[in-house]
Structure 1
């Protein structure tokens, strides 16, 4: 399922929306039904958007893309489309729906790629605290277990420090790629 909607270009018509569902334009009752579904799904999501465009995962089942339409309305304002689709949606249907709405597919792909890279980096950086704790546990465990043997305590500190250093370097490498 994919639903897309955007305000029309004619502001004198009271902001009538143009909508598409699963690769075709919809009007009247069918449009109302599609918009009800779209808003029922995104109303229960926690989206903080301070930008004109963005890409969001919703309810572990959908993606929402806010994307600028290349054509402004009749008084020169940028129009932002809402595009909601299933995470396993057929890419041809997504492309067809965006085309029929006059949205740029390449722009959409760039927003999605930016989101996926950001999400991947977030997951990687969330592992950093676990690595630091693991290093401390290994070093502390060796030091405590062999507290009477100064050489092993020193070895535990070196191992813990080395693992912490490697984890920190990995963290920096991940953030440099983001």
Structure 2
């Protein structure tokens, strides 16, 4: 599942919220907005610049992106996007486009997201390798020590 929200650019600033590629409204919308803001505060996410992606918990991701549209006062908003690791790429793309992002915005998002995912995967593989290497060295030292004791 993926949910994205941004303050609207019309007078009154009502949020635009999209869940799994479909705009939602009313009580459901407000529940998801509250949930996103809770995740933002609980995970102490800092907004630095126009774009950022962070893994939260072990199964969710959080992204903030400067929205391309400006409001009546000429200001841009920041969209918040939360999705779980099981969300299909096409659902992510559909949601990001439905909330009003352009092709180049989605391309930037996708490039950064894949880079971070790949980096996390490589770190995990490195950790597994190092733990295995450490266990192998420890076993080797035990064998050498035991053979020296027998002599």
Report if TM-score (shorter chain) is over 0.5: yes
Higher RCO structure, 1 or 2 (CA under 8 Å, sep 6+)? 2
| Residue 21 (structure 2) pairs with residue 29 (structure 1) | no
CA distance in 2, matches of 1:56, 1:106: 20
Task: Identify the structure with the greater strand proportion.
Answer: 2
Task: Identify the structure with the greater helix proportion.
Answer: 1
Segments of 5+ residues of structure 2 without an aligned counterpart are 135-151
CA distance in 2, matches of 1:72, 1:38: 22
CA distance in 2, matches of 1:107, 1:4: 14
| Residue 102 (structure 2) pairs with residue 104 (structure 1) | yes
Query: What's 1:159 paired with?
Result: none
User: Deviation at 1:68?
Assistant: 1.8
User: Deviation at 1:116?
Assistant: 5.0
Q: Which runs of 4+ in 1 moved over 6 A?
A: none
Aligned residues: 128
Query: What's 1:2 paired with?
Result: 2
- Equivalent residue for 1:89, pick from 63, 68, 87: 87
Segments of 5+ residues of structure 1 without an aligned counterpart are 135-178
User: Deviation at 1:9?
Assistant: 0.7
Query: What's 1:58 paired with?
Result: 56
CA distance in 2, matches of 1:8, 1:26: 13
Query: What's 2:16 paired with?
Result: 18
- Using a 3 Å threshold, how does the CA distance of structure 1 residues 112 and 59 change in structure 2: closer, same or farther? farther
Backbone CA RMSD of aligned residues: 2.8
